[in-house]
Amino acid sequence: MTWINLAVRNLFRNGRRSLFTIAAIALGFLAVNALGGFTAYIFSSLKDSYIYAEANGHLTIFKEGFLDKGKLDPTLYLLSEQELGTIKEILSHYPEVVIATPQLQISGLLSNGHVSTIFVASGRVPSDMQTISRQAGGAMGKIKLYDGKPLTNDAVYGIGVSHGLAKQLNLKLGSSAVAMAPTVSGQINALDAQLLQFIDAPIEALEDKLATVPLQFAQNLYDTKNVDRLTVLLKNNDQTYAIRERLASEFAAADLKLEIKTWNELSPFYTKVKKMFNVIFLITFLIVFTIVVMSVVNTVTMAVMERTREIGTLRALGMKRTGIVALFSLESMALGSFGSLLGVALTLLLVNMIELLRPTWIPPQITREVPLQIHMVSEYWLYSVLLLLLLSLLSAILPARKAARMEITNALGYA
């Protein structure tokens, strides 16, 4: 017989009570890891959506001051062809860089010939956007965020507009429109455009304003060869901060006055969602923590009461106070272990059920249904097991110490 064996046998002296406690621990594990897995799915989806589906990459390089004062004097803060060439030359020495693609964001009026309304658009290189989208690992990164035909490098005047903007101007796929905007030198310019696609606006405020155009279209409208940013896609998200540091040093050495922003710095929505889910996770964790601690404390306290005479017997036979604490702690750890095992099984069952049933939902910032998933985050699972074991152990300490401090003669006389 081992003490672990005795602890496990003791657990099942009141099987129903122990099973309830094990179930409480298991459901706690399930709750924390289901929410944790869903949170991880949300974070990774938002990240993939921003980096790959919306083709914003991991890093974006601006001319220093562009984000603060770029709108006041665009000519001063645009990247020239020469600067772009120098930057691309530096980036070419980085094997971690998959692609670096320029962008020019524009705003102006879009007209159907009768009515005009404002629009904002990003001018991009269509083939580069497709290259970025192809690099996505998860489903969310590959999601098609438009209806209609893809933009191409050759169809310079083929554009996409958001559903709301198209509705305002009564534009159908294939319809013609006119885009008007002041050039960088302040002259009014107008270009014919053909609607190739309806795009999803990431936020409601842009639903009646957003457009996407080929870079060349944007440059023609603004009458410039310059761009306002360079989007850099890396092979691995983990490299983001290290590459930024290295690039910043190299740019400074090359006397380039640039600033580099990471994808999450440019995506405040991601940061807000992450903070919100962290709070939800913390609240859930605290509820689980309370349930687990109270269940284990109740179970061990009842066990101590029911087995007072037995505690007296063990003490009479020579077991030290620490031995009594250790025995009840072992029982509590056994509760934690069985609860965690059951929790792992239940969570696996849930994850596999979701995998099998493939439910869909419409997450924030995306207007179409996507598969709902719960990721299996091994660190969460490991930490949950360790934490539940620790909680079980700590919960047992007080009642176990109380048991150990009993007078032997009182314990032996306990009926």
Partner 1 sequence: MPTPALTPLIELRRAIKHYSLGEGQITALKGIDLTIYPGEFVAIWGPSGSGKSTLCNLIGLLDTPSSGTVRFNGQDAAALSDDQRSEARNRSIGFIFQGFNLIPVLSAVENVMLPLQIGHPSSRLSKEAAIKRLTEVGLASHIDHRPTKLSGGQQQRVAIARALIASPALVVADEPTANLDSENALKVIDLMRKISKKEGTTFVFSTHDERLLDRVDRQIMMRDGEAVEDRKTTLKSGKMAGVSL
Contact call for residues 281 and 17 (beta carbons, < 8 A): no
Round to whole Å and give the CA distance between 94 and 246.
10
Cα angle, residue 127 at apex, residues 242 and 63 outer, rounded to 5°: 45
Residue with Cβ nearer partner 1 (217 or 338): 338
SS3 for 357-408 is HCCEECCCCCCCCEECCCCCCHHHHHHHHHHHHHHHHHHHHHHHHHHHCCCH
Phi/psi of residue 176, nearest 5 degrees = -100, 150
316 binds partner 1 per the rule CB under 8 A: yes
* Distance of alpha carbon 322 from alpha carbon 309, whole angstroms: 17
Site string for partner 1, 88-117 (x = CB under 8 A): ------------------------------
- By C-alpha distance, which of 392, 396, 398 is closest to 337? 392
Q: Taking the complex as a whole, how short is the minimal distance between the CB of residue 405 and partner 1, in angstroms?
A: 10
16 binds partner 1 (CB under 8 A): no
Contact between 2 and partner 1 (CB under 8 A)? yes
Between helix 308-316 and helix 378-404 the angle, nearest 10°, is: 80
Piece in contact with partner 1 (CB under 8 A), picked from 174-182, 244-252, 282-290, 407-415? 407-415
75 near partner 1, rule: CB under 8 A = no
DSSP state of 136: -
Options 268, 318, 356, 379; binder of partner 1; rule CB under 8 A: 318
Q: Are 324 and 396 in contact (CB under 8 A)?
A: no
Q: How far is the CB of 336 from partner 1 (least distance, A)?
A: 20
Cβ nearer to partner 1, comparing 6 with 349: 6
Measured in whole angstroms, how far is the alpha carbon of residue 220 from the centre of its chain? 37
**Residue placing its CB nearer to partner 1 in the complex, 81 or 407:** 407
Does 194 contact partner 1 by CB under 8 A? Answer: no
Nearer to partner 1 (CB atom), residue 2 or residue 360:
2
Nearest to 53 by CA among 128, 133, 130, 146: 133
Element (H, E) at 289: helix 268-306
Among 72, 205, 253, 317, binds partner 1 (CB under 8 A): 317
Q: Distance (Å, rounded) from C-alpha 104 to C-alpha 108? A: 13
Specify the residue, 167 or 309, whose C-beta has the smaller distance to partner 1: 309
Q: State the minimum distance, in angstroms, from the CB of residue 305 to partner 1.
A: 16
CA distance 255 to 271: 32
Determine, following the binding rule CB under 8 A, whether residue 309 of this chain makes contact with partner 1.
Answer: yes
Q: Which of 67, 120, 155, 412 binds partner 1 (CB under 8 A)?
A: 412
Q: Which is nearer to partner 1, 13 or 134 (CB)?
A: 13
Chain centroid to CA 361: 16
**Near partner 1 by CB under 8 A: residue from 134, 167, 320, 368:** 320
Residue 348 or 412: the one with the smaller Cβ distance to partner 1 is 412
Give the nearer residue to partner 1 in terms of CB position, either 170 or 410: 410
Token couple for 370: 């996507």
User: What gap in Å lies between CA 73 and CA 186, rounded to an integer?
Assistant: 10
Residue 206: strand, helix, or coil: helix
Number of residues that bind partner 1 (CB under 8 A): 24
Q: Does 6 bind partner 1 (CB under 8 A)?
A: yes
User: Which x/- pattern over 268-307 shows residues binding partner 1 (rule: CB under 8 A)?
Assistant: ----------------------------------------
Q: Could you tell me how many residues make up the chain?
A: 415
- Rounded least distance, CB 300 to partner 1, Å: 16
Nearer to partner 1, 350 or 412 (CB): 412
Which CB sits closer to partner 1, 115 or 316?
316
Rule CB under 8 A: is residue 69 a binding residue for partner 1? no
What is the Cα–Cα distance from 415 to 411, expressed in whole angstroms? 9
CB of 335 to partner 1, least distance (A): 16
Helix count and strand count (H, E) for the chain: 15, 12
- In the complex, the smallest distance separating the C-beta of residue 319 from partner 1, rounded to whole angstroms, is 5
Binding positions for partner 1, rule: CB under 8 A:
1-3, 6, 9-10, 13, 309-310, 312-321, 323, 407-409, 412
